[in-house]
Copies of this chain bind each other. A is one copy, B any other.
Amino acid sequence: VSDSGASGLAQGVLEGDRRALARAITLVESTRPDHRRDAGALLDTLLSHTGNAMRIGVSGAPGAGKSTFIEAFGLHLVETKERRVAVLAVDPSSARGGGSILGDKTRMAALARDDRAFIRPSPSGGTLGGVARGTSDAMLVCEAAGFDTVIVETVGVGQSETAVDEMVDTFVLLVAPGAGDAIQGIKRGVTETADVVAVTKADGELHGSAQQAASEYADALRFLRRKYAAWAPMVLVTSALTGDGIDDVWDAVVRHHEVLASEGVLAARRREHAVHSFWARVREQLLSRLQDDVDAREQLGALEREVAAGQVSPTTAALQVTELA
């Protein structure tokens, strides 16, 4: 886009135009050098209109019921809380270049149709770091477009959870109750990342085991290292089918946000994330400039293979790269 195109795009985003919003997110997710420059100019224009949303991460292992929960949660917020909800995704499987489990446009159909909500399929391709960077910028774009609630969704895998946790204020972990023995059914338990744990599917046959799982998780969390001195993670029982507990999750998120804000932790977290992102982007750009050179890129690849094979130490290999630059 030209300069006038970029400022037109910013104008469209600020007016809440959905096509402009979608185009702006595509722009900030792009890795093309000319797109990066336009994205920088766009974000510069939008910056003063960002920072006012509740930033919520939602994670859970496959089968925890993420899409179902987010749709019920999002609809509840737009229908009864007058919130405007954007849903973004960080999906490491799409980062690996394969098909994206989160990109399915048929997911969350009712929420997607609601004009108080905006659902963005996950970006495809790129590294996890690159995908997370794009999502972090897409969050700013959504805030500038007037969304006061941004949900960043990820699958329950270590590194992508950490990346999402760093960019949001509150992290909600979804866990499904086990059919029969709760513990046997729970392949992936809680982590210290969770601010709120929501046991899903607490309806019908699973109602009892969901209650049981919640009580066991609450017990276990007392022995888990605390993320904040001022906040003990809460465990709630929810059903997207009956709507039970959905409002409790929102209340917990709001309370968590208030506690963090009153302790000054919220502003500090956001500031640290911004500074950390800045340095990560600087390092990434310096490397990508080096990789623009075909010879350098080939030698980097060769050195990586030698390091992986144990033929050279990481330190020795890295020093050889500096000689290339």
Q: Which residues of A contact B (CB under 8 A)?
A: 28, 36-37, 39-41, 43-44, 47, 51, 133, 136-137, 140, 156, 183, 186-192, 216-217, 219-226, 271, 274-275, 277-279, 281-287, 289-290, 300, 303-304, 307-308, 310-322, 325
Q: Can you list 17 pairs linking A and B with CB atoms under 8 Å apart?
A: A40-B320, A43-B313, A47-B312, A137-B313, A137-B315, A140-B313, A189-B226, A217-B223, A219-B219, A220-B220, A274-B307, A274-B313, A275-B304, A278-B317, A283-B283, A283-B286, A286-B286
Chain B residues near A186: list those with CB within 8 A: 223
Report Cα–Cα, A136/B315, bound state, in Å: 10
Cross-chain contact of A283 among B190, B224, B275, B284 (Cβ < 8 A): B284
- Among B140, B188, B300, B303, which residue has its beta carbon within 8 angstroms of that of A226? B188
Find out whether the CB atom of B40 lies under 8 angstroms from the CB atom of A281: no
B281 pairs with A290, CB closer than 8 A: no
So how many copies of this chain end up in the complex?
2
A271 to B162, CA, bound (A): 22
**A293–B258 Cα gap in the complex (Å)?**
44
Known: A137-B313, A313-B140. A278 touches B307 (CB 8 A): yes
Which chain B residues lie closer than 8 Å to A187 at the CB level?
A: 226
Give A287 Cβ to nearest chain B Cβ, in Å: 5
Given contacts A43-B315, A136-B314, A190-B223, 13 further A-B contacts (CB under 8 A): A39-B315, A40-B315, A47-B311, A140-B313, A189-B226, A191-B192, A220-B222, A274-B314, A275-B304, A279-B304, A285-B318, A286-B322, A289-B322
A137, A191, A317: most-surrounded residue (chain B CB, <10 A):
A317
Point out which of A275, A281, A287, A289 has the most chain B C-beta atoms below 10 A from its C-beta: A281
Q: Does B224 lie within 8 Å of A224, measured CB to CB?
A: yes
* A318 with B278: CB separation less than 8 A: yes
Is there contact, CB below 8 Å, between B192 and A44?
no
**Closest chain B residue to A136, Cβ basis:** B314
Give the nearest-CB partner of A307 in chain B: B278
A300 and B282 contacting across the interface, CB-CB below 8 Å: yes
**With a CB–CB cut-off of 8 A, which chain B residues contact A156?**
225
Evaluate contact between B316 and A274: CB separation under 8 angstroms.
no
- Write the nearest CB–CB distance from A37 to chain B, whole angstroms: 6
Tell me, in angstroms, the Cα distance from A318 to B320 when the chains sit together.
25
Bound-complex Cα distance A29 to B283 (A): 21
- Given known A278-B304, A283-B283, A285-B322, contact A190–B314 (CB-CB < 8 A): no
Select which of B219, B308, B322 is within 8 A of A220 by beta carbon. Answer: B219
A317-B313 Cα distance, complex, nearest whole Å? 33
Would A189 and B224 count as touching, CB distance under 8 A?
yes
Report the nearest B residue to A318, measured CB to CB: B281
For A191, A285, A312, the residue with the greatest tally of chain B CB atoms inside 10 Å of its CB is A285
User: Could you say which of A47, A133, A316 has the most chain B C-beta atoms within 10 Å of its C-beta?
Assistant: A316
When distances are taken between beta carbons in the complex, the residues of chain B under 8 Å from A317 are 278, 281
Closest chain B residue, CB of each to CB of A222:
B183
